[in-house]
């Protein structure tokens, strides 16, 4: 297990603590982050409420040459996202990764509507959860102080946290299978393999959260937790870990893996959803209002 792998810390009451801190964004990653912020603000500064960095760079555990820089910008509250200029967005992360290829393996840039973060209190907000527990504001006004705590001692909160990786796994695998047919080039397959296998490992950990009050995004912890709970699927999850560390560049190999073990993971997720989210809500409903109706 890598030395930096760890479960998220909690306070004495069981509330998740944020592992991210702006002081953890050290050289050479700070230069990449500065360029990302400059790119966002050069194009749409007036439309942005705040910009965040999450994952390993924000937690101070990134590895030069292999880690990604994961970022997102929250748009202004009253802004219609459809009116925001986005023609620059598909190419900007590619250009930044190429510029900083010796430092990072990928650059992620996303635009989040304000309403994606501050949702109806009856719904779990994945955006709010990320900002509160695993992201750091690097530009604008930080929304974290306005957001609720997330307590791992509360069973329904754990279900809500687990739901996103579980409910989105099947469509993500379907998209991956379609992408294999669209672009079977070795570079595209390697990138796709790493992405989808990380999702499978994290969905596997999410399946265990009904029985444990821990949280992590570190795949080195997700994989053994899943294997301990589902030993009959150990071989497939071990292969998932191998594909994360050394992604295949062969389209047929990845397709076969997703059609076999990927299908098994989808079946496990479907069983979980049948029990805990039969309506398949993307935003888990965990409030107590009997009159609430999800969109």
In this prediction, residues 2-26 reach a mean pLDDT of 88
pLDDT at residue number 295: 56
pLDDT at 46: 97
**Predicted confidence (pLDDT) per residue in 209-226, tens digit:** 999 999 999 999 999 999
DSSP-derived secondary structure for the chain: --TT--PPPB-TTSBBPP---GGG--TTHHHHHHHHHHHHHHHHGGGEEEEEEEHHHHHT---TTT-EEEEEEEEPTT--GGGS--TTTTTHHHHHHHHTTTT-SEEEEEEE-HHHHS--TTB--HHHHHHHHHEEEEEE---GGGSPP-BTT-HHHHHHHHHHHHHTHHHHHHHHHHHHHH---HHHHHHHHHHHHHHHHHHHHHHTTTS-------HHHHHHHHHHH-GGGHHHHHHHHHHHHS----HHHHHHHIIIIIHHHHHHHHHHHHHH-TT--SS-B----TT----
Q: pLDDT tens-digit profile of 82-139? A: 999 999 999 999 999 999 999 998 899 999 999 999 988 889 999 999 999 999 999 9
Question: What is the average pLDDT score of the chain?
Answer: 94
Ramachandran angles phi, psi of 243, nearest 5°: -70, -25
Which pLDDT band, with edges at 50, 70 and 90, does 1 fall under? very low
- Mean pLDDT for the stretch of residues 275-283: 94
The pLDDT of residue 3 is 43
Q: Comparing C-alpha atoms, which of 19, 21, 25 is closest to residue 4?
A: 19
pLDDT digit string (tens) for 146-182? 999 999 999 999 999 999 999 999 999 999 999 999 9
Domain 22-148 matching CATH 3.30.460: the answer reads yes
Burial class (CB in 10 A: 0-12, 13-18, 19+), 274: exposed
- Compute the average pLDDT of residues 248-268: 98
């Amino acid at each position: 297990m890598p030395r930096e792998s760890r479960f998220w810390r909690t306070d004495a009451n069981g509330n998740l603590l944020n592992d991210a801190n702006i002081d953890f964004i050290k050289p050479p990653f700070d230069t990449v982050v500065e360029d990302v912020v400059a790119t966002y603000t050069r194009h749409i500064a007036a439309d942005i409420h705040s910009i965040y960095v999450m994952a390993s760079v924000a937690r101070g555990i990134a590895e030069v040459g292999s880690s990604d820089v994961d970022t997102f910008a929250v748009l202004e509250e009253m802004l219609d996202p459809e009116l925001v200029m986005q023609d620059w967005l598909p190419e900007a992360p590619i250009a930044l990764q190429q510029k900083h290829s010796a430092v990072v393996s990928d650059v992620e840039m996303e635009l989040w509507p304000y309403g994606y973060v501050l949702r109806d209190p009856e719904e779990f907000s994945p955006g709010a959860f990320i900002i509160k527990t695993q992201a750091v504001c690097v530009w604008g006004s930080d929304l974290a102080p306005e957001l609720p705590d997330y307590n791992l001692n509360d069973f329904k909160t754990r279900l809500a946290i687990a739901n996103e990786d579980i409910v989105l796994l099947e469509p993500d695998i379907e998209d991956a299978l379609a992408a294999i047919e669209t672009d079977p080039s070795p570079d595209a397959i390697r990138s796709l393999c790493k992405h989808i296998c990380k999702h499978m490992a994290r969905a596997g950990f999410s399946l265990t959260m009904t029985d444990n009050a821990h949280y992590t995004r570190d795949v080195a912890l997700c994989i053994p937790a899943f294997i301990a709970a589902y030993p009959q699927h150990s071989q497939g999850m071990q292969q998932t870990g191998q594909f994360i560390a050394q992604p295949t560049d062969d389209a047929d190999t990845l397709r076969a893996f997703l059609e076999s073990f990927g299908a098994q993971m989808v079946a496990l997720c479907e069983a979980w959803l049948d029990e805990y989210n039969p309506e398949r809500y993307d935003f888990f409903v965990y409030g107590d209002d009997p009159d609430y109706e999800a969109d």
